[in-house]
Amino acid sequence: MTPTWLDTPLAASRFAARVLDALQPLALLAARVHVGLAFFRSGLTKLQDWDTTLALFQDEYKVPLLSPKLAAWTGTGGELVLPVLLVLGLFGRFGALGLSVVNVVAVLSLEDIPEPALQQHVFWGCLLAAVVLWGPGKLSLDAWWWPRVAGRAR
């Protein structure tokens, strides 16, 4: 039995938890859209001037283990495909994991990254980690599609 003086704080805590739980799908959607748009726009920028993109991968971005041309193709492809999966929440954890790799490689490939840019990548990494850990949320195609697929398999 809890002491009477704890009834009000406990009730307030339970109410706050219910409100925050109700906001979780919106927060995950906002995180997915924020990160997805940033990477998708980056991929579109690379496509707009492919010669410059190749030059950047040759001279500026030192991607480990890949040739500059292969790094340009895979990086740009990842920045165009994975954000779509992430925003839609279709294979959302896969999209978040894939963009996490792109994010880490982007940081590692620059010899001198300005502190604000590094902090932006850390922020994106934290948002992507949330999607990886908790999934894309109720406002996703995964939440709609997977239960139907699982029901069909029975």
Distance CA 141, CA 153 (A): 18
Query: Could you report the per-residue pLDDT of 69-108, keeping only the tens digit for each?
Result: 999 999 999 999 999 999 999 999 999 999 999 999 999 9
For 146, the enclosing helix (H) or strand (E) is helix 141-153
DSSP state of 61: -
pLDDT-derived band at 11 (thresholds 50, 70, 90) equals confident
Query: Could you report the per-residue pLDDT of 131-145, keeping only the tens digit for each?
Result: 999 999 999 999 999
**For residue 76, how many other CB atoms are within 10 A of its CB?**
20
pLDDT at 154 over 70: no
